[in-house]
Amino acid sequence: MGSLLKSLTFLSLLATGTSIYAKTLTPIWETEGFKMPESVVYDERRQKIYVSNINGGPIERDNNGSVGVMNADGSNPKIEWVKGLSSPKGMDLHGNKLYVADVGDLVVIDVDSGEITARYPAPSSKVLNGLDVTDDGTVFVSDWLGSKIYKLKDHKLELWLDDKELNFPNGLFVSNGYLYVSTWGTNPKADFTTDTSGTFLKVSLKSKKIEVLNSGTPWMNLDGIHKVNKKDFFVTDFIKGELLVINTKGKVKETHKLASPSSADFFYIKEQNLLIVPYLMGAKVSAYKL
């Protein structure tokens, strides 16, 4: 993994020349020791942060992954709070249910008991990755290498959209009748680089029509996504290690340089203006006051 991290660092240095001005953000706290952390979720009610640990090959079904938990200020981490997963990535919380995308299964964890309560298999998927849960409990989950999106509703996980224009989808965010998708780009390599730039998409929940918002905007390998206000989203660029501000028309308005490459599926706490970022190859989670 050391060689991969060096590769990502080198790629990040090369990429900075193509970015618009990037302000460097400084962490207010960092918690180390996680095992390839890919996603974080903030639990306001319990004042906890959940962290998914891939801990091995990102596409392997090796039963080596876990979900960790720590206090909202990054203290008292329990790295492997829930075991029995393979390569857990994107997560989201709805009530006491933590939904986790785990390669070929959508896994449900009861956060009060710390127990896995359900597994919903997606047999035709390649690598489940990002997800978002709507207010009514509907779960959308992306199939990163399969360029598909699945939907869980009424305890049934079904294929919702299969389209090459999804461009290796990663992060998902539902807002105002649309599913916004941050994509990785085609043909991901072992070092996570791609043949083409990722894209920022808008998909109608009714018609499933896909609109490419940032066509011709190189070079991005997009990961996590959160809405900031009515017009803007925060999106992480994994390879560059940047936080992008992208508006609803797909324009990159600002970039913020983060601590290092491999910035993955972050969480934005709007009330605190606080960004919590996992670093897949950095074995840490960092918090930034914006």
Judge: domain 2-289, CATH 2.120.10.30.
yes
260, 9 in Cβ contact below 8 A?
yes
Rounded CA Rg of the chain:
17
184/11: higher pLDDT: 184
Both tokens assigned to 110 = 């009861």
pLDDT of residue 144: 97
- Cα angle 17, 23, 26 (rounded to 5 degrees) comes to 125
Kindly list the domain boundaries of the chain, sorted by start residue: 2-289
pLDDT at 9 over 70: no
Residue 19 CA to residue 28 CA, distance in Å, equals 25
Residue 257 CA to residue 204 CA, distance in Å, equals 32
Q: What percentage of the chain reaches a pLDDT higher than 70? A: 92
59/5: higher pLDDT: 59
Residue showing tokens 């919590």: 276
Both tokens assigned to 50 = 């959940």
- The string of pLDDT tens digits covering residues 89-129 is 999 999 999 999 999 999 999 999 999 999 999 989 999 99
- The string of pLDDT tens digits covering residues 173-196 is 999 999 999 999 999 998 899 999
pLDDT of residue 190: 87
Residue showing tokens 């993994």: 1
Model confidence at 22, pLDDT cuts 50, 70, 90, reads low
46/3: higher pLDDT: 46
Both tokens assigned to 244 = 């992008």
SS3 240: coil
pLDDT of residue 18: 42
DSSP-assigned letters across all residues of 15-57: HGGGSSPEEEP--SEEEE--SSEEEEEEETTTTEEEEEE--S-
